[in-house]
């Protein structure tokens, strides 16, 4: 079921990419400003980390997070994964000269890294029932944690969004329930950010299961 949901979401985003190109709207965000805010919040996961390190971008789209990462870090290995081959082809073309990065649409090619981030991965449920999509979200967070030795960050639309602004095809998560889930299941070192002016929240989970670092720069 999880694979079918992910594949369907991949088709949705591929259609957005065809319509809008490699832009924030091409991954269903409103504008570049809100996209950058999300990336900055996710990359708070790296605060205090010592280079070099490796990072998985799970659901990377056309790879835009790599720009924000490269602005603040220099020695890293980045792996971008997206279920949409169209997104990966766009990312590979966009960052063809970036030797710190690789992209794949094959989940089996994504290895464990120090950190894993996921932006917008849980938003578009389309016609999936709420309970089914929540199971998919929780299973995917398990996957993010399995892929990480030092930490995970992800975002989700908030259940506290104004009712009149909600869309029936989107999933709105309970931030308190998500925080409790992560505290109980993964780590006592978890942060929740719900204070940055968008109808969403970001969760940062710090782990302590060293190594990797898969870096060869």
The pTM is what? 0.89
> Average pLDDT in the 104-120 region?
95
For the chain, state the CA radius of gyration.
Answer: 16
* CA atoms of 88 and 102, how far apart (whole Å): 10
Q: Which residue has the tokens 């969403």?
A: 200
DSSP letter for each residue of 85-120: HHHHHHHHHHTTT-TTEEEES-GGG---EEEEEESS
- 120 pLDDT exceeds 70? yes
- pLDDT at residue 194 in the model: 97
Of 2-16, 80-94, 129-143, 159-173, give the lowest mean pLDDT range.
2-16
- 14 pLDDT exceeds 70? no
Domain layout of the chain by residue ranges: 2-206
Q: Which is nearest to 83 in space by CA: 117, 120, 58?
A: 58
Q: Which residues contact 21 (CB under 8 A, 6 or more apart)?
A: none
| Residue 213, both tokens | 């670092």
| Residue 33, both tokens | 């400003």
Q: Which is nearest to 120 in space by CA: 2, 10, 18, 205?
A: 10
- CB count within 10 Å of CB 67 equals 13
Mean of all residue pLDDT scores within the chain? 88
- pLDDT at residue 23 in the model: 66
- pLDDT at residue 215 in the model: 47
- pLDDT at residue 13 in the model: 64
* CA atoms of 214 and 37, how far apart (whole Å): 27
Tell me which of 166 and 16 has the higher pLDDT: 166
Q: Which fold has domain 2-206?
A: Rossmann fold (3.40.50)
> Average pLDDT in the 92-103 region?
95
> Average pLDDT in the 65-71 region?
95
> Average pLDDT in the 159-179 region?
94
> Average pLDDT in the 119-140 region?
94
């Amino acid at each position: 079921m999880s694979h079918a949901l992910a594949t369907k979401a991949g088709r949705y985003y591929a259609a957005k990419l065809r319509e809008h190109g490699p832009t924030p709207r091409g991954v269903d965000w409103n504008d570049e400003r809100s996209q950058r805010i999300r990336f900055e919040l996710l990359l708070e996961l790296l605060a205090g980390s010592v280079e070099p390190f490796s990072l998985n971008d799970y659901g990377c789209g056309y790879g835009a997070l790599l720009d924000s990462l490269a602005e603040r870090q220099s020695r890293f290995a980045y792996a971008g994964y997206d279920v949409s081959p169209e997104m990966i082809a766009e990312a590979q073309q966009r960052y063809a000269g970036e030797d710190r990065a690789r992209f794949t649409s094959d989940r089996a090619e994504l290895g464990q890294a120090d950190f894993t981030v996921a932006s917008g991965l849980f938003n578009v449920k389309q016609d999936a029932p709420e309970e089914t999509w929540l199971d998919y979200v929780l299973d995917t967070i398990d996957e993010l944690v399995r892929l990480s030795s030092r930490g995970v960050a992800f975002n989700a639309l908030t259940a506290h969004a104004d009712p009149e602004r909600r869309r029936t095809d989107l999933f709105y998560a309970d931030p308190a329930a998500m925080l409790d889930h992560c505290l109980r299941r993964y780590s006592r070192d978890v942060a929740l950010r719900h204070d940055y002016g968008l109808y969403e929240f970001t969760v940062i989970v710090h782990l302590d299961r060293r190594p990797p670092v898969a870096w060869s720069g």
